[in-house]
Amino acid sequence: AAEAEAEAEAEAEAGGVEATVSDFTLAALQKAHDEIPNGGVLRLPAGSYTGHGTFTISKPISIQGEGKESTVLSFRLEIHGSSARGSVTVNAVKVTQGVAIKENAYTRIELKAMYMTVPNGSGGDVRE
């Protein structure tokens, strides 16, 4: 119980931690994700983030773009629920290569103000 409380406190403190990605590459996004603590916020300025492969979110963080027409992720986005309790929130971005979500009982996933394509090439808005 004490270990769970310590983990919850650490996550609450991390909620104020933010990182802004200024390099518009998949590698830069993944590096920033890996360095930010659980509960942190990854801010994406307007621009097109490109790369070959998959951007994997594997812990409870928030990703905040400048708008679904302004912040574009031109690769696949994969969200894995982690064993850490909390939420993964993706807000105000456009994803052009599809989104895979692998949720579990510990992590809540929220997609807001977002546009994404699906494998057949059609797309649609995610609405709250």
* pLDDT tens readout for residues 63-118: 899 988 899 888 878 887 666 677 788 887 888 777 777 766 666 777 777 777 65
pTM of the predicted structure, to 2 decimals: 0.72
Q: What is the mean pLDDT of residues 15-26?
A: 81
C-alpha atoms less than 13 angstroms from C-alpha of 128 in its C-beta half-sphere: 6
What pLDDT score does 114 carry? Answer: 75
- N residues, the chain: 128
The one-letter amino acid at 59 = K
Helix (H) or strand (E) holding 24: none
Residue 14: pLDDT band (50, 70, 90) is: very low
Phi, psi at 74, each rounded to 5°:
-95, 55
Please report the pLDDT score of residue 13 as a whole number.
47
